[in-house]
Each structure stands twice: as structure tokens, then as C-alpha cells.
Amino acid sequence: MIHFNKPYLTGKEAHYMYQAVYSGKISGNGIFTQKCQNYFQERYGFKKCLLTTSCTDALEMCAILCNIQPGDEVIVPSYTFVSSALAFVRQGAKIIFVDSMKQHPCMDADIVESLITPRTKVIVAVHYAGVACDMDKITDIANRHHLLVVEDAAQAVDSFYKGRALGSIGHLAAFSFHETKNIISGEGGMLVVNDDRFVKRAEIIWEKGTNRAEFFRGEVNKYGWVDTGSSFLPTEIVSGFLWAQIENLDAIQERRKQLWNTYYETLKPYADKGWFKIPTVPDYATNNAHMFYLVCNTFEERTNLIAALRDGGFLAVFHYLSLHKSPYYQDKHDGRMLPVSDLYSDCLIRLPMFYELTFDNISDIAAIIKKYYEYDGH
């Protein structure tokens, strides 16, 4: 059985973890943590990076840094992972869900302005499949209404909007290194701070509300409890794992793009027949090959296609049940219909996508899809 994801190991992970274990400093904010953070800062122009134990944690830090108070409103797409909303809900926010675009699951920036009220504080731009939201539109709206922009860049490592790295555009951004993402550390994430105003406080929140990071740099002669916070930093063992992945980022990205392009070329003729839709990448965005998905015409069609692929030895999956309809949030939602989000919830299917997938696998998957639509589906 070929799963939809297989975590890829570059070979150096255990080596660096061993180094971390015997370095004499295993807790967080050591040499590997700093190597990883510096890499991202230098390569992508992020102002300040802090590794976290997950993207969810990084988003929670964002919610604290945005100073979310009970009743504040945060605009979030409904078609996203729970954490994009949950992190803000934990601080008391009311989530105002926004629908997706018809041509792409990212949020429809043209609707955002109509959702703004005097209580709105933050827009969370989720770069679905590593493909950018329309950040000029979102930034412009945010500036005119004095809102903060948080990029949920969980899937968006090494991807760009009009030449600018995703994660460098919002006031704050959050990345994930969960084992399903392009580069991984099992569980892991990173907060990016692009606005100077938040840099110092971010470090304090990261270190349990203390100014320990300053103390370690010798900037203060004692440290103590100065703010709210939590233990958001990963151990050096995890950062060592991540460093091995970072060293291979270019090779990983190149391979994933080859696989993605092969899917695209192979399946495009079928999409042209109207059997299903394949991903589109707007002119302003790049594709980091995080995900290859199809959008089926109906829910039943998707269910049957997943079954056909499973019979052929491939586990394709669907994801994201519209958050505005979730058991946890449906009673708190303001009742607006979000039909495009629901469409992706019902009809989107993710095909296997990982470094060690082969071109033969893709041919086999395409053959199953072709047979399904030619004989069974229609």
C-alpha cells in the first residue's frame, strides 16, 4: 500500500540528534536551533525566527503577540486546518470565517473587507498547498483598517508571492515541520516576526514569560518573570533533526516539483475532458509542490475514486471539513453560508505526494483514475 505521505529522511538526522545529545546542551535555543533560525532569516529575509514545537504553537504565540482580547474578531478561512482558528479562539477571539476562491482554496481576498467591523484585529492568510494568498490585496485592506496580518505558512516553505518569500509579508507568520510537510522534524514549527515591534516580546513569550534569551546573550545580568508566555521552544534534539532536513531543502524541493509536474502533465488531458479539476497557481504565486490535489465534481465521485485508488494500492485522502460547520464552532458561527469552502470539503482529494514517490507510481495512479472515469464513473 502506498500512503499519501511518507516522511523522508535525508540520512543525517540521527547523526545531528546524536551530536545534540552529547553536546552537553540538550534543551532549547542551542547551536542547532540557532543554525536553523539563522538559515531562514538569511535565505528568506525573515526578520526574526524562533523555532517552536509546532506550527500550532507558533500560531498561539501570534495570537498572544496580537494581544487578542475576548470578543476581538479574527478573519480566517473556513477551509483550513483547525489550528489557524483555534490558536486565536484560545485567547478569546471570535472567528469570522471567510470563503475560498472558486479557482483556488485560498481565502477570497475580495470578500475580506466586507467582514471587517470595529472589533476586527487580525487577518489570518493561509497559503493553501504552499500557494500564496493575494497578499497585496490583503495587506492593503489591513493597512487601511489598521489590522495585523498573520500568515499561516504551515505548508509554504520556499514559496513566493511576487518574488517575496511567504512568511516575510505579514507582521507575523507560522511554519510547520510536521511530518506531512515538505521539510520535517516529526512535530515542529517556527514563528516568524517581521515587525520590529514584536521581536523582544516574542522571545519572552517563547521562554515562559521570562527574559532568559536576553540574559543568555549577556544583555541583562539576571532574568525573571516579565510577561505571559509558555514553553514554546523545541529541544536541540528536534532542531538537530530539522537541520539535516534544511541542508537538503533544495534537493527535496526539486524532487517534489518534478513529481508535481509529472502529475500535472499526466492528468491535464483528463482535466481538459472535464472529469475533474487540477490545481491552478495564480500568476502572483509560485508552487512549492507541497500538495497535488484534484477537485471532483461531486462528493460521491470523490468517495468512489478514493475507493478505486485504495483497491489499486494507493491511499488518497481528503481533508478540511469546513470549520464553520465543525462541532466545536458551528454554534458560534454567524450563520453565513460558505459554499466554496463546502465544495472543497466535499470534493477535494489529495494524491500521494512525498520525496520517495516514483514516476511509475504516478503512472499507476493516473491509470486508475483514467479507468475510473472511463468505465465506472460516467
Ligand X SMILES: *Cc1c(COP(=O)(O)O)cnc(C)c1O
At its nearest, how many Å lie between ligand X and the CB of residue 377? 29
Nearer CB in complex with ligand X: 171/212? 171
Instruction: Say how far apart CA 92 and CA 303 lie, in whole Å.
Output: 37
159 near ligand X, judged by CB under 6 A: no
Instruction: Say how far apart CA 327 and CA 320 lie, in whole Å.
Output: 13
Which of 152, 158, 207, 301: binder of ligand X (CB under 6 A)? Answer: 152
Nearer CB in complex with ligand X: 76/306? 76
Q: Which three cell numbers stand for residue 101?
A: 476562491
At its nearest, how many Å lie between ligand X and the CB of residue 58? 8
How many H-runs (helices) and E-runs (strands) does the chain carry?
A: 13, 11
Q: Which stretch binds ligand X (CB under 6 A): 77-85, 232-240, 255-263, 272-280?
A: 77-85
288 near ligand X, judged by CB under 6 A: no
Which of 155, 194, 341, 361: binder of ligand X (CB under 6 A)? Answer: 155
Q: How many C-beta atoms lie closer than 10 Å to residue 41's C-beta?
A: 15
Question: What residues form DSSP beta bridges with 207?
Answer: 231
At its nearest, how many Å lie between ligand X and the CB of residue 152? 5
Helix (H) or strand (E) holding 149: strand 148-152
Nearer CB in complex with ligand X: 150/366? 150
130 near ligand X, judged by CB under 6 A: no
Residue 325 near residue 342, CB atoms below 8 Å = yes
Which residue from 114, 112, 148, 106 is spatially nearest to 130, judged by alpha carbons?
A: 106
Residue 81 near residue 214, CB atoms below 8 Å = no
Nearer CB in complex with ligand X: 2/166? 166
The residues near 311 (Cβ < 8 Å, ≥ 6 apart) are: none
Which of 81, 97, 372, 373: binder of ligand X (CB under 6 A)? Answer: 81
Please report, as ranges, the residues that interact with ligand X according to CB under 6 A: 54-56, 80-81, 83-84, 126, 152, 154-155, 176, 178, 189
